[in-house]
A = this chain, B = another copy of it.
Amino acid sequence: MESVTIKDVARLCGVAVSTVSRAINNHPDINKETREMIMKVIEEHNYIPNNSARNLKRTDSKTIALLMKGISNPFFHEMVETFEQAIKQMRHSFIIQRVEENEDEILLALELEKEKKLRGVIILGGFNEHGEEQLLQIKIPYVFCTTGIVGELGRQVCSSVSIDDLQESYKLTDYLCKAGHKKIAILAARKDDISIGRQRLRGYRRALADNGLIYDEELVVFAPQDIVPFSMENGYNGAKKLLDEKKEFTALYAISDNMAFGACRAIVDAGKRVPEDYSVAGFDGIDMGAYYCPSLTTIRQPRDEMALEAVKLLFDLIYKRSGHEHKVFEGKLILRESTRELS
């Protein structure tokens, strides 16, 4: 029942605990034979050091935490490997902590900082209007990824990597307008969204205006409260609603790729075709977009570059090579099969 500790190992080896500690931590000042003997005993008795005890003593753990808000978002998953490799290359270890929808990522970061003696934190997704007081509590470097920081004071205490959601959304909508679509529906986030969902909706709206089209509330579908926003299911329901209610439109812009897939399916289920009857566009540029049939027109966020830059900014901060920066990347409009130009 009671598991073997460093003391047990020391006793079994007939040495002091400090010697065992030196052995497991690869300290230079230890006799090679002693070390080997100890390691052998450790192996035989299946000794595993207790990380809580280690973290408690340690002042520096050389680990970076990645906090992910929205674990169901495939876009984030696609970034994880890049983070991992980049951090490994900096000879740091790496833990992922999932943040639930209603959980406060800043509080979590603070807890983890203490528990694991972190060197730095990367926050993926999540809300972008944190109280500045709260942000100030984080003593170690951290960078927001995917989320631009809004408050002026917030910008001074952390770094961020993001795209300009409004601008990119504008870009996509503008393309649809220029392609001859006059009635462009949008599948938006929840009505009370104050994050990227809101920005993307604004971009859509502005592009319509600049192209001389009116903003028609009938063509805007918000996500209901009881469904996961940005999900395929939400996209399906939203498109079905438009179709069922016989709204007139020729293009449908879903603010996430997943929603776009759902929308495509709803259109097909209604006996219509994409893009012949309805053009459909998404946002994010996840891998599936290239494999889906029809392949999806979308805005691609440069995810690898963004992840790499986030890690770079973080280590610049850690090694005091620079102050806080807020990098904004440019998305790329990817034209594929799901949209067509109206003649």
- Chain A residues close to B by CB (< 8 Å): 1, 3, 46, 48-53, 55-56, 71-72, 74, 77, 80, 96, 98, 107, 110-111, 114-116, 137, 139, 232-233, 236, 261-262, 264-265, 268, 287-288, 290-295
Contacts and interface: CB of A to CB of B under 8 A. Distances in A.
A255 B1 CA distance: 42
Contacts of A74: 74
A155 B80 CA distance: 34
Contact of A114 (B3, B110, B232, B265): B3
Contacts of A55: 52
Contact of A50 (B50, B114, B265, B287): B114
Nearest to A290: B265
A330 to B, nearest CB: 26
A326 to B, nearest CB: 25
A232 B287 contact: yes
Integer count of this chain's copies in the complex: 2
Contact of A52 (B80, B115, B262, B295): B115
A92 to B, nearest CB: 15
Given A114-B3, A293-B264, A232 B51 contact: no
Contact of A98 (B72, B96, B264, B293): B96
Contacts of A232: 287-288, 291
Contacts of A233: 287
Given A46-B110, A72-B77, A232-B291, 15 more contacts: A48-B107, A48-B111, A50-B56, A51-B114, A52-B55, A52-B115, A52-B116, A74-B74, A236-B291, A261-B291, A264-B291, A265-B290, A265-B292, A265-B293, A265-B295
Contacts of A288: 232, 261, 288
